Amino acid sequence: MEPRVQARIDLVALQHNLRRARELAAGAKVMAVVKANAYGHGLRGCLPVLSQADALAVATLEEAGKLRGAGFTGRVLLLEGVGSAAELQQAHQWSLDLVVHQPYQLALLEQQRLDFSLWLKVDTGMHRLGFPLEDLPSLTERLLKLPVPAREVLLMSHFCCADQPGDTRTRLQIERFAQLAANWPGACSLANSAGILQWPESHYDWVRAGAMLYGISPVADKTATDLGLQPAMCFQAQVLAVNPVKAGEQVGYGARWQSPRDSRIAIVSAGYGDGYPRHAADGTPVAIDGHRYPLAGRVSMDMLAVDVGLERDIRPGMPVELWGREVAVDTVAGYAGTIGYELVLRLTSRVQVIHEGLENEQLLQHAAT
């Protein structure tokens, strides 16, 4: 039975995007950010490709455990660091790299005799995680006196506005980081996807690529294709029914959409119960057989309606691309008042996720490297 809704993950696209990150940040190591189940793309299924990065990054200890459980033995960075002595021990058992961004995390390291590679996070302007810049000398002193010396101490920070081309706050963050990096004896890391794509001066020794690997645009007003990326996810459903509608007739819950002319409505087998955004506005495009058609009316739990006009042959059973290569996820996000990052993460458990594009043999070869 053909699944009514599926997310097809193109591993070749994933590989292309990883290569693109490497080309753009030539000379830097690439960390693939795989938190939140590889941004909704399925961690295990993406691992044969993403394990080719120089390291992986996760948000939580649980996510790190999944990577180790899947047999990944490479370098893994815990982006939020640990919250307790028990977590510190677990992180050590799993050989994780740790971000340190709070004094209590430093205190935990001082109390335990465990060696780690540490990523000291400073706040250059985002005001989310990170030590104030002026604390750096005293932090360095404490790090040098740890009971068991760190294997490596790297310096990192994170952008708040790198998605906006030419943003003055990003320039300021880059300048602040550059001043610290000039005197830092170890490796440095600043760039996320937007930094990799738009701010070459932020590349340093390690770049941390998330969205761009999945073919999601991290840059305002540019699609992934504009940026030389390939969308890795194709969110696909089917035409369930094709019904005539007369000029002036209304469609769906709340009768939000009114047909401006005699037309046909295709009912598509996906709704907010699958993760399609309920707030998508009329006009949000979907693609059927290489043509784009506009959403007509409110998205239901299991279905949505599109105005397919009278011209083309549209039949039940035809595949519908909700987002992917023909309709960028960022475009749909724009119609739904959100960002592509959120949409790919929101697919529900009834969506079948299929990883494809590389032969088993190629996957095995990649897994081995």
Ligand X SMILES: Cc1ncc(COP(=O)(O)O)c(C=O)c1O
Active site residues: 35, 253
User: By CB under 6 A, is residue 340 in contact with ligand X?
Assistant: no
Least distance between ligand X and beta carbon 129 (Å): 8
Least distance between ligand X and beta carbon 350 (Å): 26
Cα R_g (the chain), whole angstroms: 23
User: By CB under 6 A, is residue 209 in contact with ligand X?
Assistant: yes
User: By CB under 6 A, is residue 48 in contact with ligand X?
Assistant: no
User: By CB under 6 A, is residue 67 in contact with ligand X?
Assistant: no
Number of residues binding to ligand X, judged by CB under 6 A: 12
User: By CB under 6 A, is residue 33 in contact with ligand X?
Assistant: yes
Q: Residue 226 or residue 356: which is nearer to ligand X going by CB?
A: 226
Phi/psi for 340 (5° steps) reads -55, -35
Cα–Cα distance for residue pair 246/299, rounded to 1 Å: 20
| Distance from the Cα of residue 241 to its chain's centroid | 33
**Residue 243, exposed/middle/buried by CB under 10 A (0-12, 13-18, 19+)?**
exposed
In 3D space, the residue among 117, 131, 142, 144 whose CA is nearest the CA of residue 55 turns out to be: 117
- The helix (H) or strand (E) run that includes residue 188 is strand 188-189
Q: Residue 193 or residue 269: which is nearer to ligand X going by CB?
A: 193
Least distance between ligand X and beta carbon 300 (Å): 31
**Residue 244, exposed/middle/buried by CB under 10 A (0-12, 13-18, 19+)?**
exposed
User: By CB under 6 A, is residue 343 in contact with ligand X?
Assistant: no
* Binding span for ligand X by CB under 6 A among 131-139, 208-216, 330-338, 345-353: 208-216
Strands 152-156 and 188-189: parallel
Residue nearest to ligand X (CB): 210
Cα–Cα distance for residue pair 266/248, rounded to 1 Å: 17
String of contacts with ligand X for each residue 214-243, x by CB under 6 A:
----x-------------------------
Neighbouring C-beta atoms of residue 359, cutoff 10 Å: 9
User: By CB under 6 A, is residue 81 in contact with ligand X?
Assistant: no
User: By CB under 6 A, is residue 198 in contact with ligand X?
Assistant: no
Q: Single out the residue of 43, 47, 79, 251 in contact with ligand X (rule: CB under 6 A).
A: 79
Least distance between ligand X and beta carbon 121 (Å): 8
3-class DSSP state of 143: helix
Q: Residue 40 or residue 210: which is nearer to ligand X going by CB?
A: 210
User: By CB under 6 A, is residue 284 in contact with ligand X?
Assistant: no
Q: Residue 162 or residue 327: which is nearer to ligand X going by CB?
A: 162
Cβ pair 105, 85 in contact under 8 A: no
Determine the residue type at 253: Y
Q: Residue 124 or residue 259: which is nearer to ligand X going by CB?
A: 124
Least distance between ligand X and beta carbon 318 (Å): 33
Neighbouring C-beta atoms of residue 136, cutoff 10 Å: 16
Q: What is the DSSP letter of 56?
A: E
Phi/psi for 352 (5° steps) reads -80, 125
Phi/psi for 4 (5° steps) reads -70, -30
Q: Single out the residue of 211, 267, 296, 339 in contact with ligand X (rule: CB under 6 A).
A: 211
String of contacts with ligand X for each residue 165-194, x by CB under 6 A:
---------------------------xxx
Q: List C-alpha distances in Å: 104 to 131, 134, 194.
A: 12, 18, 31
User: By CB under 6 A, is residue 15 in contact with ligand X?
Assistant: no
Q: Single out the residue of 40, 48, 210, 252 in contact with ligand X (rule: CB under 6 A).
A: 210
Q: Single out the residue of 20, 22, 208, 355 in contact with ligand X (rule: CB under 6 A).
A: 208
Neighbouring C-beta atoms of residue 217, cutoff 10 Å: 28
Q: Single out the residue of 4, 101, 158, 298 in contact with ligand X (rule: CB under 6 A).
A: 158
Q: Residue 4 or residue 121: which is nearer to ligand X going by CB?
A: 121
**Residue 121, exposed/middle/buried by CB under 10 A (0-12, 13-18, 19+)?**
buried
Which residues are at the interface with ligand X (CB under 6 A)? 33, 79, 158, 192-194, 208-212, 218
